[in-house]
């Protein structure tokens, strides 16, 4: 069978890699909804970090793909799905509540593992996006000191955020700066995951250390 969709954009991939290299940032290729063949095409160019939004899709894909892929979970994670994800996940980027972080720690403990996580901060104007605000983040930080055992099997490695879908660049830049300021306050040398196809240039300018790019690499979804 001939694949009808134009797999991946190699030139764009190389160009984005160059931009990341110049800033010392990493690239997660967001492969949600895209077939394993497209992931393999990018894998063959050397890409190892891939991002998925749905637990079942990640579980199914990882079984068909090389085991040295580092899977990033970037979607909204329900507490009852954590267990399924833990055997395969490299970094859970979308931790958006204390309860989810605790559940992740609990399930990781059962597997004798420590799981790296990013805390998702709500920076966009849209209220459909999940995440901590400054107050709930402060509260979590306090709770992690007082109830350290509840978080013993997670490692908070940094922060993640999504800017508004806005054509006002000042808006988007302001949101990235807000996230960068929080990251500097709590974990100055941690991972700062921000920037997608439409705004990764600006995210890199504002201090992103990890961008998550899907449609520019794999085509529109």
Ligand X SMILES: *Cc1c(COP(=O)(O)O)cnc(C)c1O
Residue nearest to ligand X (CB): 214
Task: Give the nearer residue to ligand X in terms of CB position, either 34 or 88.
Answer: 34
Q: What are phi and psi of 96, to 5 degrees?
A: -120, 10
Q: Are strands 49-52 and 191-193 parallel, antiparallel or unpaired?
A: unpaired
Per-residue tokens: 132: 């901590």
Task: Give the nearer residue to ligand X in terms of CB position, either 138 or 197.
Answer: 197
Q: Kindly report the length of the chain.
A: 221
131 binds ligand X (CB under 6 A): no
Name the minimum Å distance from CB 216 to ligand X: 6
Pick out residues in 18-37 that bind ligand X (CB under 6 A).
30, 32
Neighbours of 187 (CB within 10 A): 17
> In this chain, which stretch among 13-21, 77-85, 170-178, 193-201 interacts with ligand X, using CB under 6 A?
193-201
3-state secondary structure of 161: strand
197 binds ligand X (CB under 6 A): yes
Task: Give the nearer residue to ligand X in terms of CB position, either 116 or 143.
Answer: 116
> In this chain, which stretch among 19-27, 61-69, 135-143, 211-219 interacts with ligand X, using CB under 6 A?
211-219
Task: Give the nearer residue to ligand X in terms of CB position, either 109 or 190.
Answer: 190
Alpha-carbon span 50 to 56, nearest angstrom? 15
- Strand residues in the chain grouped as ranges (E): 26-30, 49-52, 70-73, 89-95, 115-121, 154-161, 191-193, 210-213
Neighbours of 213 (CB within 10 A): 21
> In this chain, which stretch among 140-148, 163-171, 182-190, 194-202 interacts with ligand X, using CB under 6 A?
194-202
Q: Which x/- pattern, by CB under 6 A, does the window 132-161 give for ligand X?
A: ------------------------------
> In this chain, which stretch among 14-22, 109-117, 172-180, 213-221 interacts with ligand X, using CB under 6 A?
213-221
Pick out residues in 74-103 that bind ligand X (CB under 6 A).
74
215 binds ligand X (CB under 6 A): yes
What is the helix (H) or strand (E) element at residue 15, kind and residue range? helix 10-23
Can you tell me which of 124, 162, 194, 203 binds ligand X, judged by CB under 6 A? 162
Rounded to whole angstroms, what are the CA distances from 210 to 43, 48, 74, 169? 18, 13, 12, 20
Which residues partner with 88 through β-bridges?
A: none
Q: Which residue has the tokens 């997660």?
A: 28
> In this chain, which stretch among 13-21, 82-90, 174-182, 195-203 interacts with ligand X, using CB under 6 A?
195-203
């Amino acid at each position: 069978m001939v694949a009808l969709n134009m797999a991946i954009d190699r030139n764009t991939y190389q160009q984005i890699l160059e931009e990341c290299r110049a800033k010392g940032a990493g690239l997660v290729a967001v492969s949600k909804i895209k077939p394993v063949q497209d992931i393999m095409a990018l894998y063959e160019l050397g890409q190892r970090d891939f991002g998925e939004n749905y637990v079942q899709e990640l579980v199914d894909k990882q079984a068909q793909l090389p085991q040295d892929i580092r899977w990033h979970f970037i979607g909204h994670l329900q507490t009852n799905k954590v267990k399924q994800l833990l055997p395969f996940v490299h970094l859970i980027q979308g931790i958006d509540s204390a309860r989810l972080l605790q559940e992740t720690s609990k399930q990781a403990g059962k597997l004798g593992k420590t799981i790296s996580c990013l805390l998702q901060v709500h920076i966009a104007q849209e209220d459909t996006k999940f995440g901590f605000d400054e107050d709930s983040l402060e509260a979590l930080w306090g709770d992690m000191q007082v109830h350290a055992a509840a978080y013993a099997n997670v490692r908070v490695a940094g922060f993640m955020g999504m800017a508004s879908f806005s054509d006002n660049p000042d808006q988007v830049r302001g949101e990235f700066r807000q996230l960068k300021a929080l990251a500097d306050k709590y974990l100055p040398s941690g991972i700062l995951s921000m920037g997608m196809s439409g705004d990764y240039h600006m995210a890199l300018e504002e201090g992103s250390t990890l961008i998550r790019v899907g449609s520019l690499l794999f085509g529109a979804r």
